[in-house]
Amino acid sequence: MARMYGGRAMNMKFALLKISALAFFSAAANATPNTPPPAQSQPILITEATFHTVSGAVIPNGRMLIEGGRITAIGTSTALSDDGSAKIIAMPGKHIYPGLIAANTALGLVEVEAVRATVDTAETGAINPNSRALVAVNADSELIPVARANGVLAALSVPRAGPTGLIAGTSALVQLDGWTWEEMGLIPEVGLHVTLPTMRLNSALYPNLPPARLDDMQRMTNQRLRVLEDAFEAARAYANTRAADATTPIDSRWESMRSVFSADKPRPVFVLANELPQIRYAMGLSERMGFKLVIVGGMDAALIADSLRERQIPVVIAGVHRLPMRRDDDIDAPFRLAAKLSAAGVRFCIARSGGEFDAATERSLPFEAATAAAHGLAPDEALRAITLYPAQILGVADRLGSLERGKLASFFVTDGDPLDIRTKVERIFIQGRELELTDRQTKLNQKYEQKYLQSNSKK
């Protein structure tokens, strides 16, 4: 009887904790102050601003015409005129940049890292290629307007592998505005994401570990890699069979990987690999299985830069603001990685680590690029590394990444260089629609400004 009563008490305790967590999440979701504006209905002509096209020359005192959510013309004030139907917005002294792209993030999949009910980044099991990040994106996330307010207007929401996971699922490129995940999705399925187990298993790293235990760890790693290779082999065989016989019974896991082996437009495989052995293994697996590879992380990528360049394998640098991987690495090694890859001719872009905690701080993306610029990367390249280069790697350079005719009118307006932390983002537009620059943080700031103003007035 006492045991049953104690069990009920514990169950009630857990139930109350769950209710509290869900209540917290619901309050956060319902508190979003931003309302997605309707589609652009009237042409807009922006004048007198400095346009940083990224793909070409800077246009001082330029003009940009926006119609139907796209840029229809951009040029100098004398070369571009309108028929009088456009709404004219003069921005003298302001700078306009294409929206920044966060190429490795959990935005939309995480709200409060410590509250499990608000974290939807990973499925159970090791092989989940049919898991789709887009359908889990929370359009009401409080973290989206925070990132957006610093110029991050598009993000790759990436599923994560669990503690023993290998194939996490497919990522989605979303614009950071919309009522639902359907409205936010620019590309529903960008690429397949794979996580490799650590391969740095040697006695120097584990001096106090018995040799037998180290051997067990190596065997477990080999077993996991075998499971991964078996999955790719099964998926490739399934793709070939389905191509030859359309009546083949559908397996949802392998069906979701068919596009990886497509000869026409193959879907890339993003492999999280930081260690040199991991990068080499990913390159070998890609050659054996015949898929298009993108390295994510790439801490050791500079050590194998020539091979990456020759094979045209791009690298998504997963964070500049991090510690070196080894004790004997230079303290600024992560800061100089982008400059090294650029000098070696390796395609790259700069992103953040993509962890659950980092979703709340994706607004810091331009400052990661700024640190790379302070350590050898050309400033123009640093800007491209968070705009045009991620657009090219993710396959959306025809829509995003630069200010060009025909591209989506997703851009932001500043009073200076966005890589400078002192610069203020003053206005943001997504597909020609101007969005509010308010979020939970600005609301709290305004609230407590009033509190202390009132307190001081009583003294």
Question: In the listed set 347, 366, 398, which residue is the last one of a domain according to the structure?
Answer: 398
Query: How many domains are contained in the chain?
Result: 2
In tens, the pLDDT along 55-68 reads 999 999 999 999 99
Same structural domain for residues 147 and 239? yes
Q: List pLDDT tens digits, range 417-445.
A: 999 999 999 999 999 999 998 888 888 88
Mean pLDDT of 278-285: 97
Residue 224: predicted pLDDT: 93
Same domain, 41 and 185: no
Q: Look at residue 8 and tell me if it is in a domain.
A: no
Lowest mean pLDDT, pick from 115-129, 296-310, 395-409, 441-455: 441-455
In this predicted model, which residue has the larger pLDDT, 450 or 95?
95
pLDDT at 452: 82
Mean pLDDT, residues 189-204: 87
2 confidence band (pLDDT: 50, 70, 90): very low
Query: Do 255 and 178 meet the contact criterion of CB atoms below 8 Å apart?
Result: no
**E strand or H helix that includes residue 16:** helix 2-30
pLDDT digits (tens, 9 = 90+) for 8-40: 444 444 444 444 444 444 444 444 557 889 989
Domain that holds residue 450: 31-99+401-459
Cα separation, 176 vs 102, whole angstroms? 10
Judgement on whether residues 233 and 217 belong to the same structural domain of the protein = yes
* Alpha-helix residue ranges (DSSP H) falling in 36-185: 143-148, 181-184
Co-location of 341 and 450 in the same domain: no
Identify the pLDDT of residue 273. Answer: 96
Whole-angstrom Cα distance, residue 168 to residue 123?
7
Residue 86 lies in a domain: yes
Query: What is the side-by-side order of every strand in the sheet holding 315-318?
Result: 167-170, 192-195, 269-273, 293-297, 315-318, 348-351
Say yes or no: 69 and 204 in one domain: no
Residue 298's alpha-carbon distances to 93, 211, 304, in angstroms, are: 39, 29, 10
- Provide the CATH number for the domain around residue 76: 2.30.40.10
Mean predicted confidence (pLDDT) in 363-385: 97
pLDDT reported for residue 13: 42
Same domain, 436 and 393: no
| pLDDT band for position 450 (cuts 50, 70, 90) | confident
- Which two three-digit tokens encode residue 34? 């931003």
Based on the domain organization, do 220 and 349 belong to the same domain?
A: yes
Q: Which of 334, 337, 316 is CA-nearest to residue 324?
A: 334
Regarding whether 112 and 43 lie in a shared domain, the answer is no
Same-domain check for residues 308 and 165: yes
Mean pLDDT of 357-362: 89
Rounded CA separation 367/340 (Å) = 18
Q: Are residues 338 and 248 in the same domain?
A: yes
Q: 445 or 290: which carries more pLDDT confidence?
A: 290
Q: What is the pLDDT of residue 459?
A: 64
Question: Would you give the DSSP letter of residue 440?
Answer: H
114 and 151 in one domain? yes
pLDDT at 394 over 60: yes
CB 133 within 8 A of CB 169: yes
Q: Are residues 147 and 220 in the same domain?
A: yes
134 vs 213, more confident: 134
List strands edge to edge, sheet with 100-105: 100-105, 152-157, 172-175, 185-187
Q: Output the pLDDT for position 79.
A: 63
**Calpha distance 292→241 (Å, rounded):** 20
Distance between CA 266 and CA 261 in Å, rounded?
Answer: 6
Q: Which tens digit of pLDDT belongs to each residue from 217-236?
A: 889 999 999 999 999 999 99
How far is the C-alpha of 453 from the C-alpha of 441, rounded, in Å?
Answer: 18
